[in-house]
Structure 1
Amino acid sequence: MPYVMTRKAAVTATTWLAAAVLGPAAGSAASATEQDCFDRRTGPYTSVVDAHLHFRPFGGEAVPFRELVGYLKRTGVRHAGVFGIGQKLPVDSPCTYYLDCPGTPVLPSLKNDFVNAENVVEHKQDDVDLALSMTYPDLAEPEGVMDGMRLLDKEFPGMFQWMGEVNLIKQALLPNHHEPADEEDIEEWAPFMDELRRRGMPITIHSDLGNDREPTRYLPLMERVLELYPQNKIVWAHMGLSKELSTMEPDAHIALLRRLLDRHPNLTLDLSWRVLEDMYFGQPGVREKYAALFDAYPEQAVPGTDFVASRDKDFGVYKEELEVTSRINKALGDEAFRRIALGQNYFDLLGIKERAPEVCEV
């Protein structure tokens, strides 16, 4: 059952988070105050939610499920989206990462969703809330999406709460036979988008904004999705940014996001992937501009690491990626911090009754 935040539980959560991230001394200090709010002066700035976490890699061995859940507990993450990887390398491929194998097909598959669901059933968690996500859909071949939903429903009734990360256009995968969806394909999404809306399920879509030659080359695709499906809970992975788009003017990007957020109130920005910090937020004077955007639209963003759990990674890598992707939280105003870092937007997207603590007044 989801953890329900009461006023008393807010004290416990603050204590637990401080101890997990900052050490036992910080947890004791939080406990001593007996506060019923989250104190940003003593509590950690790292997000308590990881809404974009890949429990499965593209290929090769994965970090064992119980070990990865242990990473969450050790860093103070209490809620996570259990994403697979919707595209698998061939079983006979020696690669664990598609960029290491250009030319090798990386194609949509249900396999990772089955493995994740089996793991959640086998290793039930009481102190970390996990939301299973369907990652198999091939958005360029939408006619098969409903069949996959029915199969997962049959095998794991009522367990899946999210869809995505699914790829509309991901330039990095083009050398691996990725077929982007086009506007005609998007129009044919209606059956499964209707079903997602009926269930109240969010969908996280990876749709590159563009590249350094044409910064908004693919923007019309995402705009078409938002126009056709305004009632769906659509989460735009990485705010459309990617390694292929490293030089867009932040002011232009922010203006574009403001326009879309104004026009589409059900659009949520996904702040996952350290590329956002490394290439944009971390630039001198830029962090404050993005923080002002999130302060202006505090209900339309969720945090995440975009950690991919291949066995060549360990706790140190996860901890670093959580810290890096959480740095933007330090610049947020209290309302945006509560809704993003403390998880209220994530709870609202899933329709669960958990309530993030208020931020203490200073």
Structure 2
Amino acid sequence: MSWVLYHPQQGYYATPPTRIGASGDFFTAPHLGKDFGELLAEQLVEMWEVLHQPQPFTLVEMGAGQGILAADILQYIQQRYPHCFNAVDYIIIEKSAALKAEQQQKLSDQIGSSVSVRWCEWDDIPNDSITGCFFSNELVDALPVHQVVVRNRQLREIYVSLNTHSEGNNSINAYFTEIEADLSTPQLQTYFETLKIDLFSDIYSDGYRTEINLAALDWMTTVTNKLQQGFVLTIDYGYSAERYYSPTRASGTLQCYYQHRHHNNPYIHIGQQDITAHVDFTALEKQGELLGLEVIGFTQQALFLMALGLGDRIAAISQTQGQNLSEVLRRREALHSLINPMGLGNFGVLIQSKGLATENPIQLKGLTIPTL
């Protein structure tokens, strides 16, 4: 998964043209218009105020796609909150050289030199140096996962090998075969123990298969180490551990996206399709707690955006005079897509904090219960 997504010459995210958007394999919330980025900016500005308006206020976007979200956030803060804008130091962490080039072009065209935007590697950021917010949108789902299977009340790992024999029940295609063998690391076993998930109980069937995202735990460790004071905001599709490892989800959550269709075979369209697995938000919460993060709240994207004002935007559409009907309908559809409970609206939004010494719980607008 790591190779086919991130290989510097042949990986899915490394080779132009970028396959994100209407003409690609999938789209993300920023592709539906500026509203997602603008509402997210409202939350980021509130975080700046909670932190007592630090100078600088560092925003670290991890996995910035084509730079659309960064441009929308920065333009909105510049127009609506100039004092906050003057404090913003914007950092992008991006593994893909092709996407980094797109981001630089996008931000150069739309933002120019009016704000500090830097592209950094993790090693460029000293530990305990960031006051602000680390945030991501659909990043963690693309981190490479381990696959495991329950076999005779033992946990076995799924490995991939070249297929040297065309016959055999475990053949995936002409090139690859899957092999069940011992775990590559004891962390895979302790992962479930930490979550209090017993895959060997009678409610799980023999052959139950699922994923473990150890890379997400490493990512959370890195983020926490770099953050001195502020927030970690993670938006992605996923579940709590109890739902993720439901006995009925016996084949896991690994999915591939190719030309806006999804399937579960990662062994075709090598380097030409996206591969993802849902996020275990409970694991992110527990890892954060071990490292000193506090959970501010966890909610669904629909509720998060509604609390930040998306409902007001929907109501205002029909009141705007002189708009083209087709444009009104297009924008209304885009806004409803952001809160569709069968799609983007069901994404999880996790907000964690570090170094906020306060006697009272932190109240953030995006985590309030909106009036629907």
Q: Tell me the TM-score normalized by structure 2.
A: 0.32
Question: Per residue, is there more strand in 1 or in 2?
Answer: 2
Question: Per residue, is there more helix in 1 or in 2?
Answer: 1
Q: Which has the larger radius of gyration?
A: 2
